[in-house]
């Protein structure tokens, strides 16, 4: 029989090796655990229950997706997994946002929600998302920005913006800890130091953004250094294929 570590060290290895959030399937986790030769196999069932999963649902055109969202949660919980976070992609949703009470009730149960929305000329009733701390918005259609409720802004901590003109962004009520600008416009050293006093991590993708990179990158770097903000320049190619925006957003903050 292969030697194992003392119990305290086994638990330390488990906590050290497992990410706080994961999209890994049960099969992938099983394969991962097989590599831990110094951790007793008796702990594997504990690991499966311990690792929090991130349910992801893409809503499209009808409320059948909403029912699927709730069923998915029930199945995951029945398997003994921890479900505290969710990801909701509504960029293809054609109906009224959050019109179904089933969806509202399901989302209220999560500690944090990571929501992908299109940047459209509508007012999103995001106040129904009690756990909304992560928000992604994409203005690749170049339409008008939505109106975000102040109560929601105050809870936001992690934001990813893609193809957004920052002159249209009002997150003044938020206490944002991490933000990713992906192909955004009008970025300068004042945009985050004045608007995001709680900022801890700033990421900028330089792909397709020649208008600000050369002129402002060094100023932004200096402003980040002065405020002890971690600054990451993401050197992604023009098609962004080398950079997983969602993985980056999930990797920052808690």
pLDDT in tens, 169-226: 666 667 778 888 777 766 665 565 556 667 777 777 765 554 555 566 677 777 777 7
pTM: 0.58
The Cβ of residue 18 has, within 10 Å, a number of other Cβ atoms equal to 17
**Strand boundaries in the chain, DSSP class E:** 56-58, 85-89, 112-118, 132-138, 158-162, 178-182, 201-205, 230-234
Report residue 111 CA to chain centroid gap: 13
Q: Which pLDDT score is estimated for 121?
A: 47
Domain ranges of the chain: 1-51
Confidence of residue 254 (pLDDT cuts 50, 70, 90): very low
- pLDDT of residue 241 exceeding 50, the answer is no
201, 206, 205: which is closest to 230 by C-alpha? 201
């Amino acid at each position: 029989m292969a030697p194992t570590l003392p119990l305290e060290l086994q638990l330390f290895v488990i906590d050290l090796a497992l990410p706080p959030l994961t999209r890994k399937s049960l099969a992938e986790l099983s394969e991962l655990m097989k590599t831990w030769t110094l951790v007793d196999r008796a702990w594997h069932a504990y690991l499966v229950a311990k690792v929090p999963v991130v349910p992801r649902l893409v809503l499209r055109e009808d409320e059948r997706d909403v029912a699927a969202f709730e069923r998915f949660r029930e199945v995951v919980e029945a398997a003994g997994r921890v479900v505290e976070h969710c990801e909701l992609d509504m960029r293809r949703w054609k109906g009224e946002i959050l019109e179904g009470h089933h969806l509202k009730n399901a989302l209220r149960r999560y500690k944090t929600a990571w929501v992908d929305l299109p940047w459209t000329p509508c007012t999103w009733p995001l106040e129904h998302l009690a756990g909304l701390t992560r928000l992604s918005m994409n203005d690749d259609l170049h339409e008008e920005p939505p109106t975000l409720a102040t109560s929601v802004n105050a809870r936001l901590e992690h934001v990813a913006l893609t193809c957004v003109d920052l002159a249209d962004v009002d997150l003044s009520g938020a206490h944002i800890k991490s933000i990713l600008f992906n192909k955004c416009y009008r970025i300068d050293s004042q945009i985050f130091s004045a608007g995001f006093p709680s900022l801890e991590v700033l990421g900028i993708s330089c792909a397709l953004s020649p208008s600000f990179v050369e002129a402002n990158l060094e100023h932004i770097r200096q402003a980040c250094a002065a405020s002890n903000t971690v600054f990451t320049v993401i050197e992604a190619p023009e098609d962004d294929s080398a950079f997983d925006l969602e993985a980056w957003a999930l990797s920052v903050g808690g």
